[in-house]
Amino acid sequence: MIAQTLEFLISEISSLWHWGIGIIAGWGITLTLVVVAVVLIWRRLQRLEDQVQMYRNIAVMEGRDASLRLNKLENRQ
């Protein structure tokens, strides 16, 4: 009777131990995936911001070039 009770307790403790390790492993995997997703999204946003800045610079440059050309045309007359 005592041996059966001890066996039962040991098996329950063992299954609880496995359950706890499974929960901790699941949290670790979830946290890892969330961190990877955040880093990938952040990198993508940085690339998009760089592209937007590049197009802004191009627009400013073209505006300046157009202004210089207009000034040259006005000065010729």
> Residue 16, Cα to own-chain centre: how many angstroms?
34
pLDDT given for residue 10 in this prediction: 87
What are the backbone dihedrals phi and psi of residue 48, each rounded to the nearest 5 degrees, phi first? -65, -40
pLDDT given for residue 58 in this prediction: 96
- Count CB-CB contacts under 10 A for residue 16: 10
Q: Would you give per-residue pLDDT tens digits along the chain (77 residues)?
A: 888 888 888 888 888 888 989 999 999 999 999 999 999 999 999 999 999 999 999 999 999 999 999 998 888 86
Model confidence, pTM: 0.64
Provide the residue type at 37 as one letter. A
pLDDT given for residue 52 in this prediction: 98
